[in-house]
Each structure stands twice: as C-alpha cells, then as structure tokens.
Amino acid sequence: EPEVTQTPSHQVTQMGQEVILRCVPISNHLYFYWYRQILGQKVEFLVSFYNNEISEKSEIFDDQFSVERPDGSNFTLKIRSTKLEDSAMYFCASERGQISPLHFGNGTRLTVT
Amino acid sequence: AQKITQTQPGMFVQEKEAVTLDCTYDTSDPSYGLFWYKQPSSGEMIFLIYQGSYDQQNATEGRYSLNFQKARKSANLVISASQLGDSAMYFCAMRELNTGTASKLTFGTGTRLQVTL
C-alpha cells in the first residue's frame, strides 16, 4: 500500500538555524498538510496546501514557516530560524479528496537545542 | 468553530474485553467527517475509522466500530476483543466539509488505552 514518507526521522538543530523537513505524499493525492505534536500534547494543524498554494494556515504558522512543493512530488516545510519551542514531532499528511482519510507519514522529530 | 473533546485521559481494559473511548464534538457545519486515529508508542498516526455526518449507519472496520449519536454530538470508538497491541494513544478528530477547500482536521487531546492481561 502506498504511504507518505518523511525524512529525516529525527533532526537535531541549534536555535536560530534553518531546517527543512521533507515529505513525499502519496502520488495521486491532491491535498497536503503539515501538523505538529509537542511531546505529550495534542496534534495541531499548521498548514494545508492545494493546487500549489496554501489553503489555510494556523496561528502557529507565522513568518518563520513556509511550505513548498518544488517538483510535483516533494512537499517541504521550512522553519527559517528555529526556536526552542519548535521542538516537536512534525507530521506530513496527504489525501485524495475531502472525505477520504488523511494519510500521515511517520513524522520527523525535531529537537532544537 | 469546530471543537473535539475527549474526556478520558487514560483507560484500562483487560485483554479480550470491549472498551469504549468517548468523543464529543461541536460544529455549526451540517456537513462534517469524524475520524479516529491510533498512535502507538513508536509515534506514527494510524487511521482507524471514518464516519460522515450524513451516513445513516454506524461505521465499522473489523474490531473497530463507531457509535455515532448525532443528536448528542458524540462519536465514541468501540474496540471489541481488545488485544495487547491495542495499547496506544487514540485521537478523535473532525473536519468540516463545507469549506470549499482543503479543510483541516481538528484533534482531541487523546485517550491513552492500556490493555492488560
């Protein structure tokens, strides 16, 4: 069964550094999302992406965050200048349509030191 | 605004017994979808079951069933014949479907289920 793949599985970075989290959604999916989960807390929506543009973003998704679909297969989340509070598990998800279930990747655990 | 509430932070169940995980929701959108996801200790999010607001019958997927009570705005997950491998965090989630574009899932705070021998 096709799956959403995320790389790396774990990223450690210093405060103030830029990080790029990568995702390869399922190939015939049209909608793409990033979520994050701070350790032990609920899963929070960051941004949705459809038709090569952002559909919706949350308050968390400020100017330090950006998303790109550079080549029709990858979907990236960039954090320009990481803060300690950005430490979390970041999940990419994709889906074919609005009533289909979101398929999540296995996540990237980001640790900012 | 949509809201999901899971009032059970933790639950215990004996192996082979059934367990119900509670979920209530709030939305003003008449068209919405309800989802349950399982998150084992390894961290991945596994889709379990989906219920649409206009679905007449309760959703079932193997040992999982969703007890959908629309008037009460509840969507409880029932796991029958629990197995040790069911020990995990379980998240209820909802999305409104009349937004016209990629609509976000809103998650509850989760219930940690522990299956005991």
What radius of gyration, in Å, describes the C-alpha atoms of chain B?
14
- pLDDT classification of A51: cutoffs 50, 70, 90: confident
pLDDT of residue B100: 63
Residue B64 sits at the chain A interface (C-beta within 8 Å): no
If 0-12 CB within 10 Å is exposed, 13-18 middle and 19+ buried, where does residue A53 land?
Answer: exposed
pLDDT in tens, B34-89: 999 999 998 899 999 999 999 989 999 999 999 999 999 999 999 999 999 999 99
Parallel/antiparallel/unpaired status of strands B111-116 and B3-5 = unpaired
Residue A38 sits at the chain B interface (C-beta within 8 Å): no
Residue B8 sits at the chain A interface (C-beta within 8 Å): no
How many angstroms separate the first and last alpha carbons of chain B?
Answer: 41
- What residues of B are in contact with residue A89 (Cβ under 8 Å)? 43
- What residues of B are in contact with residue A44 (Cβ under 8 Å)? 107
Cβ–Cβ of B101/A106 closer than 8 Å?
no
Residue B43 sits at the chain A interface (C-beta within 8 Å): yes
pLDDT in tens, B86-113: 999 999 999 988 766 667 899 999 999 9
pLDDT of residue A70: 82
Q: Which of residues B1 and B117 earns the better pLDDT score? A: B117
- Count of other CB atoms within 10 angstroms of residue B104: 23
d(CA A60, CA B76): 29
Query: What is chain B's mean pLDDT, rounded?
Result: 93
Which residue, among B5, B49, B105, would best test binding to A if mutated, counting the most A CBs under 10 Å from its CB?
B105
Q: What share of chain A is helix, strand, coil (3-state, %, to 5)?
A: 5, 50, 45
Which residue, among B34, B37, B45, would best test binding to A if mutated, counting the most A CBs under 10 Å from its CB?
B45
Parallel/antiparallel/unpaired status of strands A75-79 and B24-26 = unpaired
